[in-house]
Amino acid sequence: TIGEELLQSVENDSAVHLIATDQINIYCEDGDPSTGERSQFASVNAKAAKLALALCNLDQARSYIDIGIKLLETKNWETQYGLSLDLFEMGASASCMRGDTASMSTHLNEVLSNARTFDDSLQASSLLVKLLASLSKYEEAISNCLIILSNLGEALPSDISLPLVEKELFLMKADLGNVTRDQFKILPQMVDKKKLNAMKYLNMLCMYSIISKPMLFHRILNE
């Protein structure tokens, strides 16, 4: 096809890849691609979706994602696991940015129902927390964050009282009282993947606990 010839003629050119993908999708719509072609073209659309998302072209990205998903095999989670994970995660992200909660929920259910490992589910789980919060389901969003944090080795106590919070804030103030801003700036950069994921969930937990569980917010500060 014209699209395949374009892909072969120019490598690592984003604009050409998007044009080639559009040509391939015209062929897929009008023709009858083989099983091998469907798998190849699904990957081409996944890459095009990433490029479109990087350009903040959500409509174009969602089109590539939808076509890529349609081109997947019947047992895609068994035979095309990585590609399926990419496409459905991107579908959830694009839907989140567009505020399309129904589509976001559909894509997230696919990932969370088929993810093989805890790490593979982390991106979808974070988007699920955002989805719940967008629907004002803050208690569920907070509960999900706490479960994920516990699995990341950052368990928070479920029984939080005002005296406990006051005690921990007092101790934290004593610990940080003599630390200057310059000393904070020279702290080593966090590189541990598990800790970085935990920080992402702690950040979301801070935002939602302010609204729903203020004492939990103050407890998080001690982490």
Residue 78: how many other CB atoms lie within 10 Å:
10
| CA atoms within 13 Å, Cβ hemisphere of 136 | 0
Confidence of residue 156 (pLDDT cuts 50, 70, 90): confident
Q: How far is CA 186 from CA 1, 181, 195, in A?
A: 55, 9, 19
Q: What is the pLDDT of residue 187?
A: 80
Q: How far is CA 91 from CA 106, 135, 169, 217, in A?
A: 9, 19, 41, 31
H/E element holding 132?
helix 118-134
Average pLDDT over residues 155-181: 74
Round to whole Å and give the CA distance between 20 and 50. Answer: 15
222 has a pLDDT exceeding 70? no
Note whether 205 and 131 are within 8 A (CB).
Answer: no
Task: State pTM to two decimals.
Answer: 0.84
Instruction: Report the mean per-residue pLDDT for the chain.
Output: 88
167 has a pLDDT exceeding 80? no
Confidence of residue 84 (pLDDT cuts 50, 70, 90): very high
Q: What is the pLDDT of residue 159?
A: 65
* The residue to which tokens 């998903």 are assigned: 69
pLDDT in tens, 26-79: 988 888 888 888 999 999 999 999 999 999 999 999 999 999 999 999 999 999
With pLDDT > 70 as the criterion, what percentage of the chain qualifies?
93
Round to whole Å and give the CA distance between 209 and 140. Answer: 11
216 has a pLDDT exceeding 80? no
Round to whole Å and give the CA distance between 58 and 65. Answer: 10
Average pLDDT over residues 141-155: 92
Round to whole Å and give the CA distance between 204 and 72. Answer: 33
Nearest to 110 by CA among 141, 145, 65: 65
Of 52-66, 90-104, 164-178, 197-211, minimum mean pLDDT range: 164-178
pLDDT in tens, 98-145: 999 999 999 999 999 999 999 999 999 999 999 999 999 999 999 999
Handedness of CA 18, 24, 29, 30 (dihedral sign): positive
